[in-house]
Structure 1
Amino acid sequence: MDSSNITPEQLATVKYLAEFAVRPMFRTPLFVKPEDWGIESYEDVFFPSADGTPLEGWLMRAENSNKLIIANHPMPMSRAGFCGHFGQPWSNVDDIKIDFVKIWSHLVKAGYNVLAYDLRNHGTSSTANGGICGIGRYEWRDCVGAKQYVDNHPELGVMDVALYSQCTGANAQFEAIKKHPALFENIKCMLAPLPVSMEALMTSFANLQGVGDYLELMDFEQIKFGGYTNKEMNPQFFADAVKMPVLMTQVRDDLWTDNPADGQKTFDLLGSTDKELFWIEGTTRRFDGYNYFGENPQMMLDWFAKYI
């Protein structure tokens, strides 16, 4: 790792990108609530992660339903979505509004109960690991805790269950399944919007910022923060453990990852025999991909109806 020729400005950029990769620099509030989209029956719930970290979520109920979808979110979002439209500091990442509650409302109205929870260090869940995000490497424990909460719940424990696992949350879910396959054997299917290879994403960011020659230094800075290297945060290491039916989505011209082949590789490595990959077209903005099923719910509804 030769950084002898790096300028002070480049070093500052590398350190900024390293922190961006592993530390949620702010929390996204619950700026949208279930009642805003007509979800009348819901409750705040609290349960521990597998390592004891307190997690918080909403349990949104559909009338007379025995079907449940467990949903999580990307970094640095919350179970409500992302409020880039509020301005700084959120707009420093992207100025878009992402509304997950709209997605949850489509599901509830279609007859699914939804347990949407915040990962550690996000939303209203507790801080853990020094506030560092592992893009799945710590957060898999939250996926385990959510499933254990469901299994031990007198009502939820007898329901048919599926997963809506997004980006960081999808990476986490893959690793949770790898580490605890028996816990997830009864999952009917998964919808996985935009699992993220941090190696692809941070390489693209580094190139865009003119520091593509200093990826090893970036990894070193991430380790200093208490995080992982970008390669270590790659969901492809765990994808083979996923055996359930999976519908995965990616933004084909995603400017942030700039590598459709990487998303294709993640999909190809999934251990599922029943799997589909849908490419979202017409945008270069990754964050548009998170809004897709809010605006276009039919594919999502058809997928869940097929298995649950």
Structure 2
Amino acid sequence: MFGKMISNMMVKPYQSPLFDSPEAHGLDYEDVEFPASDGTTLRGWLIKGGEDKVIVQSHFGVQCNRSGWSPKGKGPIKPWKEDIKFLRQARHFVDQGYSFLMYDLRGHGESDLGPTPWVSWGPEEAKDVLGAVDFASSRIPDAAIGLLSICMGAASTTYAYGLEEGLASRDQVKALIAVQPLLYTCFIDALGMPGFMARAGEKVSNERLGFDMSLPNFVEHAPKINVPTLVVQNKNDPWTQMSMVEDYYNALMVEKELKLLDIEKSRFAAYDYIGAHPEELMGWFDRYM
């Protein structure tokens, strides 16, 4: 009983429906669908800005989607009280001449399930990042691409650099911002869950996914990232281990910067911050795109 309940919290797909749209923000866009690198159909919005640079945003996992995160339907105890609308940063980038691709990772929002019908915390979703970059390249052929990758999106992007014929071979990608990358094992440890419950949940998840969730480690692929990378982390985030973030940053072999935020003691505070202060992200992309 405990095992299935905990596993559902961690890997059950489709936990959050879309709650926002570009239309509500006065943005010119089109609904799009495209294949991940394994053929899984992904759906999203291509928001129209300039023709020479485009941001590909990959969202965080499980209870999120391309529109962001909403407390609605998340139970009585919520990590954040208000909607986190990713279209806020999209609006800002578009106003500055960027196009913006927002899409749902597999098993989230309106995208299809992949061959593995559970959320994998990055190894499977890496194929989605690759598909999104290839789609952006095909739709805006001459544009430089920047990657705005949030939490599981950052993990997925890093795994995508470790794939054979992965992101390292996509020359249009010019810069990456990784917002709060997080290993599954660090998250479980930070939750302080009793050991027997954590083990029960992990057993069910491992059976569902077909691999041991404690083994994949995207930090090992960080040296394969070949574009300038900004890592953003709330130093008051109670759901991570700062040593893991530092390991990730230290493993990067490119021009890099670590931006530590001193904001509210909540992991979700940083997700909200990037929408409230998108100009701080734009500076990194402007430098390299």
TM-score by length of 2: 0.91
Give the aligned partner of residue 99 of structure 1: 85
Query: In structure 2, how many angstroms separate the alpha carbons of the residues matched to 1:109 and 1:178?
Result: 33
Query: In structure 2, how many angstroms separate the alpha carbons of the residues matched to 1:22 and 1:42?
Result: 31
Do the aligned residues in 2 keep the contact of 1:46 with 1:56 (CA within 8 Å)? yes
The aligned amino acid for 1:281 is D
Give the aligned partner of residue 61 of structure 1: 48
Query: In structure 1, how many angstroms separate the alpha carbons of the residues matched to 2:196 and 2:154?
Result: 29
State the Cα deviation string for residues 91-135 of structure 1 (Å, max 9, x = none).
666544211011111111111000111100001111224530111
Do the aligned residues in 1 keep the contact of 2:59 with 2:151 (CA within 8 Å)? yes
Give matches, 1:49-198, under 5 Å. Answer: 49-62=36-49, 64-76=50-62, 77-84=64-71, 86-89=72-75, 94-153=80-139, 156-179=140-163, 180-198=166-184
Do the aligned residues in 1 keep the contact of 2:225 with 2:252 (CA within 8 Å)? yes
State the Cα deviation string for residues 236-257 of structure 1 (Å, max 9, x = none).
1211111210111112121122
Query: In structure 1, how many angstroms separate the alpha carbons of the residues matched to 2:80 and 2:117?
Result: 21
SS at match of 1:232: coil
Give the aligned partner of residue 6 of structure 1: none
Aligned length: 286
2:2 is aligned with 1:22: no
User: Aligned in 2, Cα 1:282/1:236: closer, same or farther, shift over 3 Å?
Assistant: same
SS at match of 2:141: helix
SS at match of 1:44: strand
Partner of residue 189 from structure 2, selected from 183, 192, 203: 203
Going by fraction, where is helix more abundant, 1 or 2? 1
Give the aligned partner of residue 33 of structure 2: 46
2:288 is aligned with 1:288: no
User: Aligned in 2, Cα 1:128/1:261: closer, same or farther, shift over 3 Å?
Assistant: same
Q: Rg larger in 1 or in 2?
A: 1
Do the aligned residues in 1 keep the contact of 2:6 with 2:197 (CA within 8 Å)? no
User: Aligned in 2, Cα 1:282/1:146: closer, same or farther, shift over 3 Å?
Assistant: closer
Structure 1 residue 225, shift from structure 2 partner = 2.1
The aligned amino acid for 1:146 is A
The aligned amino acid for 1:243 is N
Query: How well do the aligned residues superpose, as a CA RMSD in angstroms?
Result: 2.1
User: Aligned in 2, Cα 1:88/1:297: closer, same or farther, shift over 3 Å?
Assistant: closer
The aligned amino acid for 2:24 is D
TM-score by length of 1: 0.86
Give the aligned partner of residue 4 of structure 1: none
Partner of residue 298 from structure 1, selected from 258, 279, 286: 279
SS at match of 1:116: strand
